[in-house]
Amino acid sequence: MELGVTGTILLTLCVTFILYIFTYRRNWRSKNLPPGPPTLPALGTVLHVSTTELPQSLVKLSKQYGPVLTIFLGNSPMVVLVGYDCVKEAFVDHSDVFSARGNTFFAHSVFKDYGIVLSNGERWKMLRRFSLTTLRNFGMGKRGIVERIQEESNFLVERFRSNGENLFDPTDSLRLAVSNVICSIVFGERFDYTDEKFTTLLSLLQELFSLLASPWGILLNLFPKTSSYIPGPHKKVFTNLDKLKEFVLQAVEDHKKTIDMNCPRDFIDSFLIKMEEEKEKPNTEFHFENLFGTVMDLFSAGTETTSTTLKYALLILLKYPDVARKIQEEIDNVIGQSRSPAPEDRNSLPYTDAVIHEIQRFADIIPLGIPHAATKDTVFRGYNIPKDTMVSPLLTAVLKDPKYFKEPEKFDPAHFLDGNGNFKNNEAFIPFSIGKRSCLGEGLARMEIFLMLITILQKLNLKSNKAPEDLEITPKPGTGGTIARTYELYVEPR
């Protein structure tokens, strides 16, 4: 029986597709990559992971394939590391191999490899060194970082008080306060909470971060070429970035008009001075694109993550009012009401410090971590990992590692207390990741969380119109564990 032209074409396509699948699978098997779920050409392992609850689906896969597993983003492999021991072995013991940043779609197409967080090589080293030095210098200045945070904490308390006994959602207030600390460092000024320019900036940032954390953002990263042709809310990622770039560019132009080259007022001044010093160098990394990228890194590392942690903190303390009362007793005994909390108080507040650590652990706000990449072909735990392969730390599986935390799914400050009630560190506490690529803003974020939360509890009692047992402290469903639930509270002056 003759197939005819159409039948022949269909048969040829089917045979070609089948041969492609077998060749594709054989090629990757021969590389001895870590094990993982079955893959499909172009689709990768998308049928075996959840785009809405990706971290938990990876935890589930690790129980079948082990602490080192491979998933495919389209045709590109990504090795996932599960558990503290595995992450530490890769990022600390073999930091020379796994210190590069993964070349994700967002790194290459959205942020163009500029800035600190998503760059590599000399660019990353120079910008990180410059930024850390600049932040440290401002911390030692007349209006150092501590004073800025203390001032903003008091503004935040007053904003809470202004609601009287009315219920309110603390999300915007927390974001405004935390962002103002970054604004004072980057732009040299804090903004009134009603300032239109300020609120527009935060609205653009918040929408951008929400889009990147949404299923649309995950799909965009999994299938960048296909997703770019599909209409949807992910298109606003690029629109918002353009608007944010205009905002920073205008700030730079304003700074140029009043800058004193011998006395920088803020991060932008410091960067502009460095740009002037290196203007004759053809390959200098100090130009506007890296300035914008670094500013975005500072805001992303120092605004959304910190304000989200504080949002979780207030909700958790509403859920556990006895914990809040015990913190307030400790604050009253150590600090009292006559002065502002200071970083050096931490050692005298062991229970408070333990609660803050447990809040960060339990909140688990960056469950997937940020992908790294192998700098060369290497063998890790018996598996081959080719150069440039993305390697991602599953931080949720570290912060909830049962080997290091007795009851990882339960909120319990005892995870960070010894038998005598003294603070006890836990090496698996790495919410800012670990190794050479740990978060640039860790010191600032830890200080903000500590000082702002203590100031709130020093001055206010937190109240809810719901019974504690009715408050849900887990992330909003369908958001990959990255979005906190909305809630309302009211406050009473102490």
Q: Helices 321-334 & 442-459, crossing angle to 10 degrees? A: 90
**Residue 233 shares a structural domain with residue 333:** yes
Q: Phi/psi zone of residue 474: left (φ > 0), alpha (ψ -120 to 50 degrees), beta?
A: beta
**Residue 162 shares a structural domain with residue 293:** yes
- Who contacts 347 (Cβ-Cβ below 8 Å, separation ≥6)? none
**Residue 18 shares a structural domain with residue 132:** no
The tokens for 208 are: 């951008």
Q: How many domains does the chain have?
A: 2
pTM of the predicted structure, to 2 decimals: 0.89
pLDDT in tens, 231-255: 766 677 778 888 888 988 999 999 9
- Residue 73 inside a domain? The answer is no
**Residue 119 shares a structural domain with residue 19:** no
Q: Are 184 and 145 in contact (CB under 8 A)?
A: no
Among 291, 43, 269, which Cα is nearest to 137's?
269
**Residue 156 shares a structural domain with residue 291:** yes
* pLDDT mean values, one per 10 residues, the chain (494 residues): 44 44 46 90 83 89 96 89 97 94 68 83 92 79 77 96 94 94 90 90 81 68 62 74 88 94 93 95 93 86 87 98 98 95 96 98 92 94 94 96 96 96 96 92 92 98 96 88 90 95
Q: Helices 321-334 & 305-319, crossing angle to 10 degrees? A: 110
Hey, what amino acid is at 419?
A: G
Q: Under DSSP, is residue 324 helix (H, G, I), strand (E, B) or coil?
A: helix
Among 150, 167, 155, which Cα is nearest to 462's?
167
Q: What is the DSSP letter of 460?
A: E
- Residue 434 inside a domain? The answer is yes
- Residue 428 inside a domain? The answer is yes
CB count in 10 Å sphere of residue 168: 16
Give the CATH number for residue 141: 1.10.630.10
- Residue 123 inside a domain? The answer is yes
Tell me the residue range of the domain where 16 lies: 1-30
The tokens for 386 are: 């080719």
The confidence score (pLDDT) of residue 141 equals 47
- Residue 375 inside a domain? The answer is no
- Residue 421 inside a domain? The answer is yes
Q: Under DSSP, is residue 436 helix (H, G, I), strand (E, B) or coil?
A: helix
Q: Under DSSP, is residue 120 helix (H, G, I), strand (E, B) or coil?
A: coil
- Residue 61 inside a domain? The answer is no
**Residue 339 shares a structural domain with residue 214:** yes
- Residue 200 inside a domain? The answer is yes
**Residue 188 shares a structural domain with residue 281:** yes
- According to DSSP, the residues that pair with 378 across neighbouring strands are 385
Q: Which helix (H) or strand (E) holds 427?
A: none
Q: Are 139 and 414 in contact (CB under 8 A)?
A: no
Q: Which helix (H) or strand (E) holds 169?
A: none
**Residue 203 shares a structural domain with residue 322:** yes
The confidence score (pLDDT) of residue 109 equals 64
Q: Under DSSP, is residue 114 helix (H, G, I), strand (E, B) or coil?
A: coil
**Residue 22 shares a structural domain with residue 117:** no
**Residue 20 shares a structural domain with residue 150:** no
The confidence score (pLDDT) of residue 467 equals 96
